[in-house]
Amino acid sequence: MAYPLEPDPDQLKELGESAVRLIADFTRGLPDAPASNMEPGLEVAARYRGPVPEQGESDVARLMEEIATASAVGADTAGPGYLAYIPGGGLYSAAIADFLACGFNRFVNVWEIAPAFAQIEATVIRWLADLFDLPETAGGILTSGGSMANFSAIVTARRTKLPEDFGAGTLYVSEQTHASVAKSAVLAGFPRANIRAVATTLDLRIDLDALTSLIREDRRSGKRPFLLVANAGTTNTGAVDPISDLAALARTEDLWLHVDGAYGGFFQLTERGRTKFDGIAAADSITLDPHKGMFLPYGTGCLLVRDRVRLREAHHVQAEYLQDLAPEAEIPNFTEYSPELSRDFRGLRVWLPIKLHGLGAFRDALNEKLDLTRYLYEGLRDTPGFELPWEPELTVVAFRQGERAEGDQRRLLERINASKRVFLSSTTIAGRFILRACVVSHRTHRDRIEEALGIIRAAALAAG
Ligand SMILES: Cc1ncc(COP(=O)(O)O)c(C=O)c1O
C-alpha cells in the first residue's frame, strides 16, 4: 500500500526539483521584478481563503504556480530595490541549508540526540563570539530574531542583577532604541514606567550626562537600576551609541550592559564598523540578527552572552520526562539556555553559507553596502532641495525635502515607491517626518543605488 504522506524517491525528486526551479526562476527574475506590488495585495490574498481540502492535489506544477502567485504581491523583500525598514535579502545557500535541516529533521536542542549537528550550532555561536572578542566563557543561542534575543537578554540581566521580587528594577534605553526592547521588558514583567528612555544628543546617540543623572536620581528614589542597553546601529538612522563610555558607566554603576546589534552588529566584520563599535567586547550580552547583516532568510537571530552560565541560570528549568538525556558535555543542551524546547535547526542556516562562501564574502558585501550608502548620501546631500540631518554611520540614509510639510514628504515617498524600482519607508524623529533608505541586501549593488538616486531626485522635482 502506498502512503501518500511518504512519496517514493522519484516523487521526492520531482517535488524538490520543481521547488528549486521555482526559486531559480524567481531569483533570475528579481532584477526586473517590481520592487513592490501593493495594490492587488488584498485581492490576491483573498484567493487563499477557502475550505480545507480532504483530497490531495496531484498537480505539483499547479501548486508551485499558486505559491509563486502569492509571492508576487506586497513588497519584494528579497529584491535589490528593497531599501525599506531593515532589509536582509535571503541567501539561496541558507534556503538550501533549511531544506537539508528540515529534510534530516534532527533535534538539536539537546546535544546527545544529534551531537554533530548541535556542535555545528555551537561552532557558529563560537565564531560569532570570536567576532566580538568575547572570552571563552561566552555562549549563546540562535533565536527566531532580534526581538527574542533582546527578550532573553533582559531575562538574563534580570535574573543576574535583581532579586526574585524585581519590581524596583529599572532599565535604560535611548529614545532611539528599538521597540522590541521595551516590549521584551514588559513581557519580562517590568512596569512600563521602569523602562527609562533617555534623551539623545543631536546625533541621535544616547546622552551620557542625562543617562548618568537619571540612574543616580532613580537610585536615590529607591529604584534598582540593573540594565543599560546600547545601540550598535539604531533602526531609524543607524546611529551607534558610545559603547565604550557606556561600558565604563555600566561598570561603575554595576549594570548589565546589553548591546542591540540586531541591525548593525555584523558591520563588526568591517574595519569601519569595528572602529565604531569600540568597547563592544566589554558587553555582557549582544543581540545580532543574521537575517539582516548576514543576508539570511527571516527567522535567524542570535544572543551572545559573555558568561553563558548566566544565560543558563535564567532559562533552565528541570523536567522529569527529560531525565534520560545526558547532561551537557562540551556541547551545550541549548534548550537549557533558551525559552524553547522543540525548534528548527538554525545553525545549519548560518554554517552552510559561511562554509560555502567564506567569511570574506560577507565582509566584502558589507563594505560594499557602506560604500553604496556613502554614494547615495553624498548624491542627495549635493542635490539642492534635500535636507540630510544625519551623516550615515552605517547604511541608513535619512532625508527629507527641506522646508516642506509632512504631507509633501509623504507624497515624495509615494512617488519614489511608485517607480516600483525601489521601495523605501519612513519614520518620525523629533516630531519630523523622515524618509529613509537602508542598504543591506546582498542583492543591492551600485546600479540600483544609482537608479535610486535618479528616482528620488526626479520625484522631488515632480513636486515642483
Ligand atoms: C536595532 C534592532 N533591534 C531589534 C530588532 C528586532 O529584530 P527582529 O525583527 O529580528 O525581531 C530590529 C529589527 O529591525 C532592530 O533594527
Whole-number Å distance between alpha carbons of 38 and 346: 31
Last residue of a domain, one of 357, 386, 401: 357
Q: Is 263 in the pocket of ligand 1 (CB under 6 A)?
A: yes
Long-range contacts, 398-401 (Cβ 8 Å, 24+)? 398/236, 398/237, 398/427, 398/429, 398/434, 398/435, 398/436, 399/434, 399/435, 399/436, 399/437, 399/456, 400/432, 400/433, 400/434, 400/435, 401/460, 401/463
Question: Which tens digits make up the pLDDT trace of 81-97?
Answer: 999 999 999 999 999 99
Distance 214 CA to ligand 1 centre (A): 26
* Same-domain pairing of 332 and 367: no
| Confidence check: pLDDT of 251 > 80 | yes
* Same-domain pairing of 199 and 262: yes
Sign of the dihedral through C-alpha 69, 70, 73, 78:
negative
Which domain range does residue 458 map to?
360-462
pLDDT for res 107 = 97
Distance 318 CA to ligand 1 centre (A): 31
In a domain, 4, yes or no: no
Whole-number Å distance between alpha carbons of 166 and 153: 15
In a domain, 90, yes or no: no
* Same-domain pairing of 324 and 311: yes
| Confidence check: pLDDT of 1 > 70 | no
Distance 262 CA to ligand 1 centre (A): 5
Question: Which tens digits make up the pLDDT trace of 187-207?
Answer: 999 999 999 999 999 999 999
| Confidence check: pLDDT of 322 > 90 | no
| Confidence check: pLDDT of 138 > 80 | yes
The stretch 425-448 carries a mean pLDDT of 98
Q: Is 392 in the pocket of ligand 1 (CB under 6 A)?
A: no
Question: Which tens digits make up the pLDDT trace of 97-124?
Answer: 999 999 999 999 999 999 999 999 999 9
Sole residue written with cell 533558551: 338
* Contact of 83 with 437, CB cutoff 8 Å: yes
In a domain, 3, yes or no: no
Last residue of a domain, one of 306, 338, 357: 357
Distance 63 CA to ligand 1 centre (A): 33
* Same-domain pairing of 162 and 175: yes
Distance 279 CA to ligand 1 centre (A): 21
Last residue of a domain, one of 307, 333, 357: 357
Q: Is 260 in the pocket of ligand 1 (CB under 6 A)?
A: yes
* Same-domain pairing of 337 and 382: no
* Same-domain pairing of 371 and 255: no
Q: pLDDT-derived band of residue 326, with 50, 70 and 90 as boundaries?
A: confident
In a domain, 172, yes or no: yes
In a domain, 244, yes or no: yes
pLDDT for res 83 = 98
Distance 258 CA to ligand 1 centre (A): 14
Q: Which three cell numbers stand for residue 343?
A: 525548534
Taking residue 411's Cβ as centre, other Cβ atoms within 10 Å add up to 16
The stretch 358-381 carries a mean pLDDT of 98
pLDDT for res 329 = 85
Of 152, 204, 235, the one to substitute when testing ligand 1's pocket (max ligand atoms within 8 A of C-beta) is 235
* Same-domain pairing of 349 and 389: no
Q: Is 87 in the pocket of ligand 1 (CB under 6 A)?
A: no
Q: φ, ψ for residue 259 (rounded to 5)?
A: -110, 125
Whole-number Å distance between alpha carbons of 4 and 19: 19
Cα 89 to chain center, whole Å?
11
By C-alpha distance, which of 235, 233, 331, 334 is closest to 286?
233
CATH code of residue 175: 3.40.640.10
* Same-domain pairing of 377 and 446: yes
| Confidence check: pLDDT of 276 > 90 | yes
Of 204, 263, 291, 436, the one to substitute when testing ligand 1's pocket (max ligand atoms within 8 A of C-beta) is 263
Question: Which tens digits make up the pLDDT trace of 147-176?
Answer: 999 999 999 999 999 999 999 999 999 999
The tally of domains found in the chain comes to 3
* Same-domain pairing of 69 and 129: no
Distance 32 CA to ligand 1 centre (A): 29
Q: Is 241 in the pocket of ligand 1 (CB under 6 A)?
A: no
Q: Is 262 in the pocket of ligand 1 (CB under 6 A)?
A: yes
* Same-domain pairing of 174 and 251: yes
Q: What are the beta bridge partners of residue 196?
A: 172
Question: Which tens digits make up the pLDDT trace of 388-413?
Answer: 999 999 999 999 999 899 999 999 99
Average confidence score pLDDT of the chain:
97
DSSP 94-150: HHHHHHHHHHHT---SSGGGSHHHHHHHHHHHHHHHHHTT--TT-EEEEESSHHHHH
Q: Is 293 in the pocket of ligand 1 (CB under 6 A)?
A: no
Task: Look at residue 246 and give its three-state secondary structure.
Answer: helix
Closest residue by CA, ligand 1 atom 5: 146
The atom number, within ligand 1, closest to the CA of 150 reads 4
Q: pLDDT-derived band of residue 456, with 50, 70 and 90 as boundaries?
A: very high
In a domain, 261, yes or no: yes
Tell me the CA distances in angstroms from 131 to 170, 188, 306, one per residue in order. Answer: 30, 29, 13
* Same-domain pairing of 275 and 392: no
pLDDT for res 325 = 87
The stretch 307-325 carries a mean pLDDT of 94
The atom number, within ligand 1, closest to the CA of 85 reads 14
Task: Look at residue 252 and give its three-state secondary structure.
Answer: helix
Distance 147 CA to ligand 1 centre (A): 6
* Same-domain pairing of 177 and 150: yes
CATH code of residue 398: 3.90.1150.10
